[in-house]
Structure 1
Amino acid sequence: MSRTWIELGSTAALSGLYLRAARKRKISGDRLPGTGLRCHLSVDPKQLQAYRKLCHFSDDGRLPPTFPHVMAFALQMQLLTAKDFPLPLLGLVHLHNSIRVLRPLGGINRLRFSVHVENLQPHEKGATCDLITEAEDGLGLIWCETSRMLCRGLKLSGDAPAVDEPETLPLSELTRWYADSDIGRRYAKVCGDYNPIHLSAASARLFGFPTAIAHGMWSKAMALAALRGHLPVSGYEIGVAFVKPVRLPSEVILNASPAAAEGQLQLDGHGELVHMRGAWRPLS
């Protein structure tokens, strides 16, 4: 489909976007908008430093592969709270996230981001759509991300697409970490994602969770930081499925296949609980 792009000089304030999200609680349609947003965004050195510390990334002169997601967060929020987006943002479930690093993320001060939604389709628990985020420098596309979101209240005709399950590789423990009770608030302070399900047990219970849960993108960032010896500088894709939320506080264990061009990872809890599964591969 042809897409209409809206060029922005800056993103809207997050405070206003959260108010807009809180006001919309109902599904308003079953068609995704044909518009997208574009905006030039600069790296905030203080935010980058705080993010590296929070997610255990070393300062190697390159942006962490998950940091452009943080840079684009307000732009994504602006798209998902617009009047023509039919799904209520509060209540959407992040099922899957895939990041492609096309070229090295070094020496970057400013990027041009584009965000849009596509691929509305049936799911056994409702319907899903893909939030597409792309970042360009002066040479063209350098990074892109697909986040698959589930809306439980929307029912579409047709069957949910079949999901191919790859053959599981042998995994062994790479590292483990403790997700303490305030990691959701600390992540929100750095990244701006103040979803109530991550902030406290009291606010999480309003959305059906018995306790606060960790941000999925914090778990993915921690995993990528631990996998730095497994991944190349660029030319790869790493996707993860968020299986079961990490309840706070809890300890998690990252298991991974040996360092190779292609590999798999799994974030486990105790008692055979699987939080996240994923894989990386070179770009063709």
Structure 2
Amino acid sequence: MTRTIELTSSPSLAPVMAKAVATAQLRSGKALPQLDVVRRDIRVDAGHLAAYDQLTGFPLRNELPATYLHNLSFPLQVTLFADRSYPYPLMGSVHLSNRITQHRPVSLDEAVTLTVRTANARPHRRGALADVLSEARVGDELVWEGVSTYLYRGQKAEGTAQEQADSGDAVDGPGALWRLPGDLGRRFAAVSGDVNPIHMNPFAAKALGFPQTIAHGAWSMARMLGALENRLPEAFTYDVSFRKPVLIPSTVRFVARQDPTTGGFDIALRNHKKGTEHARGSITPLA
């Protein structure tokens, strides 16, 4: 039977993350729980949306960016991770990829209900993978869906790990240059609630193996979509995978190539000097 955690407001993520870390030793390593985390009738704060848009390149509009709904669902994801029935520890997890499907634009004045659950635990050569499934509804209408895939290093899942196919190189060439300030992690943490210290504190980042602080993957995902906002269809699927962390401060290059037949895009985020691939993605219009 599915258990439900009902949230009446967005939780403060610092204590929820602390709880997830503190209970890491109690994780069972067994099956994923039948657990829904739900927050109903969310009314978006226009000021919060404006701050998000400013950081991610979206214009101020009466419609929510597709990645903003992921932003709203993230506290529900962390609530799921902090529940003792969740088998994998938060520390050491790696956010590998996202798939977002926007079935139609959502207006600022619409009340949205978000539901988050987990599924599809499977083995990986470096540990275990699991998907976190999110959905947004206006009334009974499904308007948005998200799939976030996480790698739990050193953990186990039943089955045989699949060989990874060679995905080739992402799109490259001339593109837009973005100079990322050193305080980007702190600023995005303020609008996302993701206060992981690797994004804000260089000493914490170094302790975990990074030479300096790194940008949030959710920021990269949103900033790439925001760069194409005025060319997006009303309904689309956005796939993005994260390859190498974006160090901050740094300068990155955004590259986009449109398919003239489908109207979709292949996109990539690269280090400006070295050409290192940080993230790649595709945007596919829905019929």
Same fold (TM over 0.5): yes
Matches within 5 A, 1:113-192: 113-163=114-164, 171-192=172-193
Deviation for aligned residue 1:281: 1.0
What secondary structure, in the 3-state scheme, does the structure 1 residue paired with 2:121 have? strand
Cα contact 1:43–1:71 (8 A) shared by 2: no
Cα contact 1:11–1:78 (8 A) shared by 2: no
- Tell me the residue number matched to 1:248: 248
What secondary structure, in the 3-state scheme, does the structure 2 residue paired with 1:60 have? coil
Rounded Cα–Cα distance in structure 2 between residues aligned with 1:79 and 1:147: 13
- Tell me the residue number matched to 1:227: 228
Cα contact 1:128–1:148 (8 A) shared by 2: yes
Q: Residues 48-85 of structure 1, C-alpha deviation per residue, up to 9 Å, x if partnerless?
A: 11111111110122111111112222222111111111
Deviation for aligned residue 1:230: 3.3
Q: Residues 163-202 of structure 1, C-alpha deviation per residue, up to 9 Å, x if partnerless?
A: 5566878654341201221100110012111011111210
Cα separation, partners in 2 of 1:229 and 1:163, compared to 1, 3 Å: farther
- Tell me the residue number matched to 2:285: 282
Deviation for aligned residue 1:15: 3.5
- Tell me the residue number matched to 1:82: 83
What code does the residue aligned with 1:192 have?
Answer: G
What secondary structure, in the 3-state scheme, does the structure 1 residue paired with 2:20 have? helix
Runs (5+) with no aligned partner, structure 2: none
- Tell me the residue number matched to 2:268: 266
Rounded Cα–Cα distance in structure 2 between residues aligned with 1:166 and 1:19: 36
TM-score by length of 2: 0.90
Cα separation, partners in 2 of 1:225 and 1:12, compared to 1, 3 Å: closer
* Root mean square deviation of aligned Cα: 2.1
Deviation for aligned residue 1:86: 1.4
What secondary structure, in the 3-state scheme, does the structure 2 residue paired with 1:193 have? coil
Rounded Cα–Cα distance in structure 1 between residues aligned with 2:203 and 2:108: 42
Rounded Cα–Cα distance in structure 1 between residues aligned with 2:265 and 2:163: 22
Give the total of aligned pairs.
282
What code does the residue aligned with 1:138 have?
Answer: G
Deviation for aligned residue 1:162: 4.6
What secondary structure, in the 3-state scheme, does the structure 2 residue paired with 1:257 have? strand
Q: Residues 235-281 of structure 1, C-alpha deviation per residue, up to 9 Å, x if partnerless?
A: 21011110000011111101111265222111111313100011111
Query: Identity across aligned pairs (percent)?
Result: 35
Does residue 7 in structure 1 map to residue 9 in structure 2? no
TM-score by length of 1: 0.91
Rounded Cα–Cα distance in structure 1 between residues aligned with 2:28 and 2:206: 25
Cα contact 1:42–1:111 (8 A) shared by 2: yes
